[in-house]
Structure 1
Amino acid sequence: MKVIIFGAAGRAGRAIVTEALAAGHDVTAAVRDPAKLPPVDRLTVARADVRDPDSVRAVVAGHDAVISAIGPAGRHANGLYSDAARAVIPAMESAGVPRLIAITSSGVRRDDPNHALWYRCLARTLMNELYGDMRLMESRISESTVDWTFVRPTRLTDDPPTATYRVQDGETPSGGWKVPVTDVARFIVEELDGHRWSHAAPTLAQ
């Protein structure tokens, strides 16, 4: 499969690139600054900015699937996620690219019954703007014609992968609050072929 990954220079994006290449996919890393990615065999690096629809349109064509691993440097999105939806969806639809897997967060669902009290407070205060923009991105994507999946991990860690994480559609697994980033990357790559979570929001936690 020919896969393009936006946000490939970030923490989750790099993990997804590694796992997608290991699975034998042809991978394009779409980044604002190609110099941030070291040369890797079989990896194509393309310059693109999700806030620039023309640059997105130029790199999306010819792929079978898009993975969004974008994220801001801090806790404020400043419209990054919703801007990405405005750029990526029209580019995919015009180029006939059918599949989109986008990373958001378990914090997107305000009324998740399994959120701890401390997390509910955090999500409604310090992280409110960030999660609000993620919700806006999800809304715009879900109204499109693409085959979407929203992967909503709990807190990402750099712990070794366990393969024992739990997944629930649209709801945090009870008691879960973290998950290794490599586990999330492997889940996404498996979903490229599996299509088990089409038009769903799998939420991942240990």
Structure 2
Amino acid sequence: MRLTIVAATGGIGRHLVEQAVAGGHEVTAVARRPRDLPPGIRTVAVDLAAPDPRALASAVRGADAVLSGLGPRDPRTDVGITSGGTRAIVAAMQAEHVRRIIIVSAAPVGPVPVPGQPKPPRHDPGDGFFMRHLGSRFARALFGKHYADLALTEQILRDSGLEWTVSRPPKLIDKPLTGTYRVALNRNIRGGFSVPRADVAHHMLRMVDQPETVKQVVGVAS
């Protein structure tokens, strides 16, 4: 399968590249500094903070799916890169007639209002007592602008007409791949407080061939 992986040197992106190559896929890796990527794969240099439309179009051309681990280096200050970069990726895919895209968002995003959904539910249906009353409030107090940008990113996908899937993990941690995690459609995972980045990448790759995840938000957690 021909896969384009965006933000390929990031925390999730590097796992996507490693696992996709190990799985025998033909990979095009998009990164600001592609020299940091392993040899033997096609690379395209794109700064998603100021994306070059022609470079992005060449990166997604002929792809069976695009997987994006795009996110800010510092979610408290580096706001806007995810929505802006995703908007550029969507435009490139539409221009090149590529349909399938899977992106990473975050578990606390569900109750965040956006123009297309100004009155979302007060709580995610998968959240337990702690997340409903303490955890989500604490997270939004620290990273509210980041979650607002992720909510806008999800809205961009909903409006795109593409075959999109949103992965919503909780706290990301740097532990080895386990291949064992819980998933749920359109809800967070009850009691799921963290998940390894490697497992998120593993699940994203699995969802490429899961039609039931198209136009769905998918919770994933250990």
- Give the alignment's TM-score, normalised by structure 1: 0.92
Which residue pairs with 1:191 in the alignment? 207
The residue number in structure 2 matching 1:149 is 165
Distance 1:45 1:85 in 2: 18
The answer (yes or no) to whether the contact 2:4–2:27 under 8 Å persists in 1 is: yes
CA distance in structure 2 between the aligned counterparts of 1:173 and 1:69, rounded to whole angstroms = 20
User: Does residue 109 in structure 1 map to residue 90 in structure 2?
Assistant: no
Q: How many residues end up aligned between the 2 structures?
A: 204
Report the more deviating stretch, 114-123 or 195-204.
114-123
In 1: Cα distance, 2:2 partner to 2:20 partner: 10
1:72 aligns with 2:72: yes
Distance 1:79 1:26 in 2: 30
Q: Which of 131, 148, 153 matches 1:137? A: 153
The percent of aligned pairs where both chains have the same amino acid is 34
CA contact 2:108–2:140 (8 Å) conserved in 1: no
Q: Distance in 2 between matches of 1:90 and 1:162?
A: 35
The residue type paired with residue 155 of structure 1 is K
SS in 2 for 1:9: coil
In 1, the alpha carbon distance for the partners of 2:100 and 2:197 equals 22
Correspondence 1:12 to 2:16 = no
- Report the CA distance between 1:57 and its aligned residue: 2.2
The code of the aligned residue for 2:155 comes to: S
Name the SS of the counterpart of 2:24 in structure 1.
Answer: coil
Cα separation, partners in 2 of 1:38 and 1:24, compared to 1, 3 Å: closer
Equivalence for 2:43: 45
Work out the CA distance in 1 between the residues paired with 2:3 and 2:150: 22
Aligned to 2:94: 93
8 Å contact from structure 1 (residues 79, 133) kept in 2: yes
Q: How far 1:48 sits from its partner (Å)?
A: 1.3
- RMSD over equivalenced CA pairs, Å: 1.6
Structure-2 change in CA distance of 1:53 and 1:136 (3 Å)? farther
CA deviations over 1:41-92 (Å, ceiling 9, x no partner) = 3x21111122324232232212121111011111234211110122111110
Q: Does 1:24 align with 2:33?
A: no
